[in-house]
Amino acid sequence: MSNAIIELNNITKKFDGETVLDNITLSVMKNEFVTLLGPSGCGKTTTLRIIGGFETPDEGKIYFDGNLINEVPPFKRQLNTVFQKYALFPHMNVFENIAFGLRIKKMDEQLINSKVEKILELFNLKNFGKRRIDQLSGGQQQRIAIARALVNEPKVLLLDEPLGALDLKLRKEMQHELKAMQKQLGITFIYVTHDQEEALTMSDTIVVMNEGIIQQMGPPMDIYNEPKNAFVADFIGESNILDGIMHKDYLVEFLGKKFECLDYGFGKGEKVDVVIRPEDLELKPAGKSKLEGKVKSVIFKGVHYEMQIVVNGYEFLVQSTDMATVGTTVGLTLTPDDIHIMKKEVIL
């Protein structure tokens, strides 16, 4: 427990009677890169704002380094935030923006100078100190926003979709830069995003949220390979989700066929969700596979082709480097570890 820097205990938050966060419990370890992942409106930003102190929870307790901080205002918390829209001060130049936090701490002017210069260099913005904020590109503004937070050497950095406004290439670059920086500086990052790829790339731990509830928490590999429920499977990467019936341990039936699988511990005849990743389905010539279907569409995606193949009325999404022709019948094969069985969610 001593290694946890931030702990949320049974946090509940309501806006106008609507529950936004429902009994969230979460601990973040020192030097960990934690990503809160979920669709918009899932409560991830609210969770971050509660940690930052901009919202107070209706119920539950927040601990920072073992101390209860429910009532501590943001300006007294030892953490800093990178805001979604950067929120740079438009009337100050780059240098003054970054120096803002240090000035408030009444730091020695010379020390401020060297700290700001050092961080500008770290962000490849060495000669930008005198620039006005509106003279910067989105990518530069974003770096300044991160620099302004990091220069204070917080124990925890909160990032609210900081790369949302950047183009794909710049976003990928920044993802790697941020990850490298986090390792180098040894600061705990709590990162909010709705981009599953971003989450998989950068995180030590991913927290998947939906409708104010934590759906699954774990390392990226586990989340991707062993999603706990159909929502996580669908949200993390693309998935084919089918209705199935467990006949016994290691045997599942879907689309009228029986398949071997690696899952067990379900009731006999229990209805389950069957999740199959589109890249796990293998294309075979017709006539040799359990699953056969007609190719409905083929889209070239760069690295692979994305195909819709209709099998017994179910439209499979298939990603493969092989291409099938639209209108032809093809076979699809699966190995037992490609089949993921999940308990049916109780539909609310």
- Are 338 and 278 in contact by the 8 Å Cβ rule? The answer is no
The smaller minimum CB distance to other proteins, of residues 86 and 231, is found at: 86
89: contact with other proteins by CB under 8 A:
yes
Q: Which residue has the tokens 């419990």?
A: 25
Give alpha helix (H) positions in 58-215. Answer: 94-104, 109-122, 138-150, 168-185, 196-202
Type and span of the H or E element at 25: strand 18-29
Among 35, 45, 47, 80, binds other proteins (CB under 8 A): 80
Amino acid letter for position 202: M
Establish how many alpha carbons lie within 13 A of residue 108's alpha carbon, considering only the half-sphere containing its beta carbon.
3
Among 38, 43, 57, 101, binds other proteins (CB under 8 A): 101
Site for other proteins in 13-72 (CB under 8 A): 52-54
Rounded CA-CA distance 280/318 in Å is 8
Amino acid letter for position 346: V
Q: Across the strands, what pairs with 297?
A: 308
Show the site string, 103-132: x = touches other proteins by CB under 8 A, - = not: -xx---------------------------
152: contact with other proteins by CB under 8 A:
yes
91: contact with other proteins by CB under 8 A:
yes
Type and span of the H or E element at 230: helix 230-235
Show the site string, 272-311: x = touches other proteins by CB under 8 A, - = not: ----------------------------------------
The smaller minimum CB distance to other proteins, of residues 74 and 269, is found at: 74
The smaller minimum CB distance to other proteins, of residues 138 and 267, is found at: 138
A 10 A CB-CB count for 343 gives 16
Establish how many alpha carbons lie within 13 A of residue 155's alpha carbon, considering only the half-sphere containing its beta carbon.
14
The smaller minimum CB distance to other proteins, of residues 123 and 224, is found at: 123
Rounded CA-CA distance 132/277 in Å is 48
138: contact with other proteins by CB under 8 A:
no
194: contact with other proteins by CB under 8 A:
no
Site for other proteins in 195-214 (CB under 8 A): none
141: contact with other proteins by CB under 8 A:
no
Tell me how far, at minimum, the Cβ of 80 lies from other proteins, in Å.
6
Rounded CA-CA distance 230/1 in Å is 31
Q: Which residues of this protein are in contact with other proteins, per CB under 8 A? A: 52-54, 73-76, 80-81, 83-85, 87-91, 100-101, 104-105, 148-149, 152
